[in-house]
Amino acid sequence: MSLSPIKKITGRAVPVQGDDIDTDRIIPARYMRCITFDGLGEYLFRDVRFTPDGKTTNHPIDDSKYKGASILVSGMNFGCGSSREHAPQAIARAGFKAVIAGGFAEIFFGNSTTLGLPCVTAKREDLITLTKLIQTEPATEVKIDLEKLKVTAGKLSFSVTMKSSAQQGLLSGRYDAIADLLANLPKVIELAAHIPSPIAP
């Protein structure tokens, strides 16, 4: 059984500027002691959103003009650092449906795709233009078309890229390998029954 295909993402966007935003900044390590991923969204960018004594730093995610944004726009090499799955989990559980950036760390990209969180890569100049647009007009609706690999926002339109395997997985609803394996469990069991047992020493 395939998951629901993801072909288009539409919503308002929030700019989280900067290059090389690593997974420790996305979700600090001390919040990784959780048993499940539930509630991780609350701690997204925690250490740059708040001071050590809990005062807000007026991070864009907490800016009222971006309230309800479901698309995150950032810079180059997003999600670098450790391979923690908690980073894309925190982004998804904070309500984001997609990320537009200038590039992604490979493991972060893979973990995001498995969650059904599309990550599309844009040229730096297009990111700058989009960021300026949503800063001045935060109500602008941003559309990501995964079939055409195109982003539109108002009169702005530009092409993005994505690994073909991830694109096809999202479009077909087969982006979660574990769900795909479970959906084909009878075939797995049948195959396993025909595999010779190892010879005991």
Share of the chain above pLDDT 90, in %: 73
Using 50, 70 and 90 to split pLDDT, how confident is the model at 199? low
78-92, 121-135, 180-194: segment of lowest average pLDDT: 180-194
- DSSP lists the bridge partners of residue 21 as none
Tell me, rounded to whole angstroms, the distance of Cα 15 from its chain centroid.
14
Contact (CB, 8 A) for 171 and 145: no
pLDDT for 17 equals 96
- Gap between the Cα atoms of 46 and 69, Å rounded: 17
Q: Which domains does the chain have, with CATH numbers?
A: 8-174 (3.20.19.10)
Higher pLDDT, 149 or 193: 149
**pLDDT tens for each residue of 10-55:** 999 999 999 999 999 999 888 777 667 778 889 999 999 999 898 9
DSSP class of residue 149?
T
Kind and range of the H or E run holding 121: strand 119-121
C-alpha of 122 from chain center: 14
Specify the pLDDT at position 39: 82
